[in-house]
Amino acid sequence: MTFLKYTLFAFARDIVYAPIWWYTGGAVFIYKWLVSTSASTWHSVGLAVWIKNIFTPMFQQYDWQGRIISFFMRLFQIIFRFVGFTIIFVLYLAAFLGWFLLPVLAIMMIFNVMLTSYIPTL
Amino acid sequence: MEEEQTKPVPLLICDQKDQAHIRRACRGSWMGFSVHNYFFAWQRDLSNKAIKGRRIQASFDSILNFVLMLLALLSLLQVGVIKLFTSFSPEYLTYIPEALLKTYITAPAAILIALFVVSRMVRAAQKVDFVKKEALDADYDDAVSWESVSKYHRASFHNIAHAWAPRAVRAFEDAAIKSHKLGVHFSLYTLFEHLLATPDVKSFLIRFELPPDEVARSFHDQFLAGEVDHAETNGTMWQTIAKSYLDAAKNGDPKVTVFHLFDACLMVDPRFEEFFEKLGVQPKVLENGVQWFRFMNHLSGEMRSFRKAAVGRSTNDTGAAMTGLATPLLNAIGEDLTKAAQYGSLPVTVGRTKEIGSLLRAFESGSQAALLTGLQGVGKMSIVEGLAARMVSEDVPEVLKDKRLIRVPITHIVSGSDVGQYQQRLMQVIVEAVQSGNTILAFEGIEGLFGVRVGGGVSQDLSDTLAELLEKTRLIAIATTTDEAYRTAVANTRFGSMATKLEVTQVEDNDAIQILESRVFSVEAQHGVFFTYKAIEQCVTLARRFLQDEAMPENAIKLLQEVAVYVRNKRGVNQLVRGEDVGFVITQKTNIPTESINEDEKDKLMNLESTMHERVVGQDEAVKAVSAALRRARADLSGGKKPIATFMFLGPTGVGKTETAKTLADVYFGGEDRMTRFDMSEFQDAQSIYRLIGQPGQQGTGLLTEAIRQNPFTLLLLDEFEKADKGLLNVFLQIFDDGRVTDSVGRVVDFTNTIIICTSNAGSSYIQEQVRAGAETEVIKQGLLDQELKQHFRPELINRFDGVIVYTPLNEEQIEDIAHLMIGGIEKRLYEQKGVHLDVTERAVAQLATKGYSPEFGARPMRRVIQSDVEDILANILLEGKVQRNQTIVIDVDGAVHIE
C-alpha cells in the first residue's frame, strides 16, 4: 500500500495537479525566469555602459579625430548590440508566451483531430 | 567551543505526533525557530514509513520522468521524420516498416507529455533551497507560538530540510532507519555513531590517524552499550538540526553537509568533544580539523558563488565600454590579478580581513598609495590577491570598482644594464596605467627602486620619479616591501611619506594551520599524497622553530611542498604524510638530528640524570639541580616566550661545567657541536655590545645575533660571564626574560629554542674554602648568592636564571673515574682509527689519578697527565710501527709498555 501511495497514487495526483500548477505557480516561475534572464543578458551586452559613454572617445583617443571616429564606432556598436539584444529578447519572450499557449494549442489540436476523425464516420 | 555556539537555540517544537495534525496545527513543521519574521522550519517526516516512501518516490519519479521524456521525444521525432518523407520524397516511405509508420502518440500529445515532465522537473528543482544568511541577521525571536507563526507570510517560511546536501540527508535518514530497525530511539548518539561510519567522517578520522572502525567501536562502548536514556536526548536532536543549519549559514556554505551535522553534534553535546579528547584530539585541534573539511567543501562552494558574482564582469582589458587603452607593456611585465581571480587561478586568502579592510579604508579616504610592510614571506602579496578577489566580486569602494589590479614586480622594471632604461620603463608603465584609465598597480618589492639614480651623483632617485608621477597622475598604487628595507631605504623618502603604511604581521600558529589547510589540496593533487593533521601542524611548528629566515606562513607552505615531494619519492603515491616525515625533511635541511625533533621531549627530560651521569663524574647535586630546573622550566607554561632554560654554573675550573653543557647539547639538541660558545672575557668594554648585536645599520655584523639566527636550535654557552661589561648584561636580562632581542638592523632574533648556560669562576675560592670546611652545597650556594655574586651581578639578573648551580671541587675518587672515562675515549678512538686495542691496567689508572689530582684545578691537570703519560707513549709506538692491527698495547704503572 505504501508503495502504491508514493508511486501510482502520487503520479495520478500529479496528473491532476500539473495543469493547475502550470498556470499558477508555473506562471510565476516563468515570469521570474523571463525577468532574470533578460536582465543578465542586458547586463552582459553592456548596452547601458555604451550609451552612457557615447561621447567618451574609445581607447583614450582624446583628439578630435578620435572623438569623431569613436562616436560613430559607438553608435554602430550600440545599434549592433541593440539588435542583438532584441533578437535574444524576442526568443525569451517567445518561450514565455509559449509557456502559456503551448498546452492550449496542443489540447486544441487533439480536439481538432478527434473532431475531424469523428466526423467522417457519421 | 565558543560560548555563543554552545548556547541552545530557542526552538518551537510541535507537540502533535502524526503528520495530519502537524500539518493543521503547525503548518507542517515538526519544529522551527524564528529570526526577525523569518521562520526556519523542519518540515520532513522522520518516521520509517515516510523515509522509505520518499526514497521509493524519488527513484520512481526519476525513472518515470526519464521514460516519459524519452517517449515524448521519440514520438515527436517519428512524427517529424514521417512528415518530412511524405512531403519531400514519399517514394521512400515504402522502405520503412509498417509498424514504424503507424502513429501511436500524436504530436500534440507528445508535447503535452513533455510539458508535464518539464513541470515535474521545475517543481522538484524549486524544492531545492540554499542556506539562508538571514538566519544569522538578528537575534532569535523566542516569544513566538504556532499561532503567531501561522500568520507569517509564506515566503518567509524556509524549510531547513531543503537546504541539506543529498549526502547529509542520506546519512541522517540512514541513521534514523538503522535505529528504528534496532528498536532503539533515534537519538543524538545513534546519529553520531552513524556519522562516524560515513565516508566523509571516515576520511576525516584518517587524517587524524584514528582508525575509523576502532573509533566507532569505542564510541558504541561508551555511549550506546549500556541502558541509555534516549528520551532525554530528543530535544537535542532538534537542536542539532538547527545548529547544523546555523553553522552552515555562519560559514557561508550553501548547503548543510555531513560536517555541519558532525560539528553541530559536537556543539550540542560536550561529551562528544570529551570523547575525542580521550582519543588524543584536543578540542582546538578538532575545530581546526572541521574547519579543514569545511574548506574542502567550501572551496568548491565558494568558487561557485564567487563565479556567479563575477559573471557580469568584463574580462576585456580596455573595460566594458572600451574606453580604456590597451596596455602592451603592462601585460608583458605585469600579471593581471583581477583577471586571474576571475578565472579562479589565485589561491584563497585566508583571514586577513582586517588588513584588507584597512587597505580599502586607506583608498576610500583619498590616499593614493598604500605601502604594505612585513617580513619576507609574511603574506603581503596574499593580501593584495585578497583585494583582487574582492574587486572581482565588486565588494569594494567606488574608486576601485571596475578596475584592473596589476602586479608589477620591481625586478622586471630594474632589469638590464642601463639605468636610463629603468626610468624609461617605469615611466612607460605609469603612462600606460594612467592612459588605460582603469588600472591599479601593485609594485612588488618597491625597495628595488630606492637608491637607483639616473646618471649617478645628485640626480633624481627612481623612487622620487615614482612618487612624482603618482602625485601628478592621481594613479592608485600599492607597494610591498620588507620591514628591513622600509627602515633602511623607504622611510623618510618622498614615496615613504606619501604612502599609507600598513604593517603586515606574522600570522599566529592557528591561522597558519588554517592557511595550510586551505592550500593542502592543491599540493595533494599535485603530488598524489595525503596529509594528516599532525603533519600540517608539524609543518607550522617546525617551520616556526627552525626555518626562521622566512616568515610564517611562507616557510610552512614551502615546507609542506617539500614534505609532499619527500614522501612521494620515498614511499610512492597515495600515501599518508605523517608528522615524522616533516621532522625528516627538517633534518635534511638543517642537519638537526631527527630524534631531537621527533622524539618526545618528555622521555628526554625524564632520563636526563642518568644520561648526564654517563659523562659527568660526580656533581650529583649539580646534575640533579640542572635536570630538575630544566624539567621545571619546560613544565612551566611560558608558551615559548622564554628560552628553554637558563642556567648559571658556578664553581672552580675543571670540575665539569663545560662537560655538563656539552652533555646537555648532546642530549637535548642531538650533538655536542650544537653549541654556540662565547668567551665573555672578550666583551669587557662598553663598545663590545656592537660586536654582540651588530653595528648600527650594518647587516650581519652581530656575532651573537647572527649565530642564533642561523642556528636557532642550540645551546648557548657564555663562559666567564662575570667578566662581561655591565651594559651587556642588560641585553641578556631581556633575552632571559622575553627570549628575543632586536639586532642593530631591527630584526628580531628568537632565543626561545636555546638553552643558555652562563659559567662563572666568581666565588671559586669561596667554594673551595667552604668545601674544605665541610659545608653543605646548599649552604655554599646560599653564601654565594648572598655575598659573592652580588659583587658581579645585579639581583634581578640572578633571579632570571632558572637555576644557579654550584659545582664543588672533585675528590680523588672522582678524578680516577674521570681518568677511566678519558682513557676509554682514547681506547675507542685508537681502535676506530688504527684498529689497535689499548689496555691500561687498573694500577696504572690509579697512579695517573694520583698524579693528575689537583684540588684547585679539578680535572684539568688530569688531561695533561694523560697526554704525557698515555698519548705520547702511544704516539711513539705508532710512529715506530711496532704495532700491528688487532694487537693490544698494554700500559702498566710507571709507563711500562708491552704489546700483546
**pLDDT digit string (tens) for B232-280?**
556 788 889 998 999 888 877 788 888 889 989 988 888 888 899 888 8
In a 10 Å sphere around its CB, with 0-12 CB exposed, 13-18 middle and 19+ buried, how is residue B890 labelled? Answer: middle
Closest CA to B480 of B378, B633, B557: B378
**Residue from the list B109, B123, B323 with its beta carbon closest to the beta carbon of A58:** B323
Contact B311 A106 (CB under 8 A): no
Grouping H, G, I as helix, E, B as strand and the rest as coil, residue B651 is coil
| Peptide bond connecting B553 to the previous residue in cis, omega within 30 degrees of 0 | yes
**Residue from the list A15, A58, A110 with its beta carbon closest to the beta carbon of B106:** A110
Q: Does A49 touch chain B (CB under 8 A)?
A: yes
**Residue from the list A26, A50, A60 with its beta carbon closest to the beta carbon of B119:** A26
User: Which pLDDT does position A32 carry in this prediction?
Assistant: 92
User: Sorting pLDDT into bands at 50, 70 and 90, what band is A94?
Assistant: very high
Q: Does B126 touch chain A (CB under 8 A)?
A: yes
In Å, what is the CA distance from B843 to each residue of B83, B425, B866, B893?
123, 85, 14, 6
User: Which pLDDT does position B480 carry in this prediction?
Assistant: 92
The DSSP element (H or E) to which B114 belongs, if any, is helix B107-127
Tell me which of A51-65, B162-176, B306-320, B330-344 is least confident.
B306-320
Contact B112 A106 (CB under 8 A): yes
Q: Does A26 touch chain B (CB under 8 A)?
A: yes
Strand intervals (E) in B707-845: 715-719, 740-742, 748-750, 755-760, 803-806, 837-840
Grouping H, G, I as helix, E, B as strand and the rest as coil, residue B676 is strand
Residue of B79, B115, B154, B439 to mutate, testing the A interface (most A Cβ within 10 Å of its Cβ):
B115
ipTM for this prediction: 0.85
User: Which pLDDT does position B3 carry in this prediction?
Assistant: 52
| Distance from C-alpha of B565 to C-alpha of B546, rounded to nearest angstrom | 19
Residue type, B606: M
Instruction: Name the residue in chain B with its Cα closest to that of A43.
Output: B312
Q: Does B365 touch chain A (CB under 8 A)?
A: no
Tell me which of B79-88, B110-119, B540-549 is least confident.
B540-549
Distance from CA of B72 to the nearest CA of A (A): 13
Name chain B contacts of A44, Cβ cutoff 8 Å.
311-312
Distance from CA of A82 to the nearest CA of B (A): 14
Strands B576-577 and B530-531: parallel
Helix, strand, coil in percent for chain A, rounding step 5 = 90, 0, 10
Instruction: Name the residue in chain B with its Cα closest to that of A19.
Output: B116
Interval B267-292: pLDDT, tens: 888 888 889 988 888 888 888 888 88
Tell me which of B70-74, B210-214, B329-333, B544-548 is least confident.
B544-548
Q: Vertex B316, ends B312 and B322: CA angle to 5°?
A: 100
- Is pLDDT at A122 greater than 50 in this prediction? no
Name chain A contacts of B314, Cβ cutoff 8 Å.
46
**Residue from the list B115, B120, B123 with its beta carbon closest to the beta carbon of A103:** B115
User: Which pLDDT does position B1 carry in this prediction?
Assistant: 45
- Is pLDDT at B60 greater than 60 in this prediction? yes
Contact B323 A29 (CB under 8 A): no
- Is pLDDT at B204 greater than 80 in this prediction? yes
Grouping H, G, I as helix, E, B as strand and the rest as coil, residue B325 is coil
| Distance from C-alpha of B898 to C-alpha of B900, rounded to nearest angstrom | 7
In degrees to the nearest 10, what's the CA dihedral of B99, B105, B108, B113?
-140
- Is pLDDT at B198 greater than 70 in this prediction? yes
User: Sorting pLDDT into bands at 50, 70 and 90, what band is B227?
Assistant: low
| Distance from C-alpha of B301 to C-alpha of B295, rounded to nearest angstrom | 9
Residue keyed to cell 519519479: B61
Q: Does A23 touch chain B (CB under 8 A)?
A: no
Closest CA to B733 of B650, B795, B800: B800
- Is pLDDT at B310 greater than 60 in this prediction? no
Q: Give φ, ψ of B898 to 5 degrees.
A: -145, 160
The DSSP element (H or E) to which A77 belongs, if any, is helix A64-118
For B686-703, what is the mean pLDDT?
83
Asked if B675 and B714 touch (Cβ cutoff 8 Å), the reply is yes
- Is pLDDT at B747 greater than 90 in this prediction? no
Interval A47-60: pLDDT, tens: 777 777 777 777 76
Asked if B218 and B212 touch (Cβ cutoff 8 Å), the reply is no
In degrees to the nearest 10, what's the CA dihedral of B352, B355, B361, B363?
-110
Interval B464-473: pLDDT, tens: 888 888 888 8
The highest-confidence range among A104-118, B11-25, B314-328, B555-569, by mean pLDDT, is: B555-569
Q: Does B36 touch chain A (CB under 8 A)?
A: no
| Distance from C-alpha of A61 to C-alpha of A96, rounded to nearest angstrom | 43
Evaluate the CA torsion angle B601, B607, B608, B611 in order and state its sign.
negative
User: Which pLDDT does position B47 carry in this prediction?
Assistant: 84
Q: Does B211 touch chain A (CB under 8 A)?
A: no
User: Which pLDDT does position B315 carry in this prediction?
Assistant: 60
- Residue ranges of alpha helices (H) inside B572-724 are 579-590, 594-598, 601-606, 608-613, 620-635, 657-669, 688-693, 703-710
**Residue from the list B56, B321, B326 with its beta carbon closest to the beta carbon of A6:** B56
Contact A14 B120 (CB under 8 A): yes
Q: Does A57 touch chain B (CB under 8 A)?
A: yes
Distance linking the first and last C-alpha atoms of chain A: 46
| Distance from C-alpha of B776 to C-alpha of B50, rounded to nearest angstrom | 85
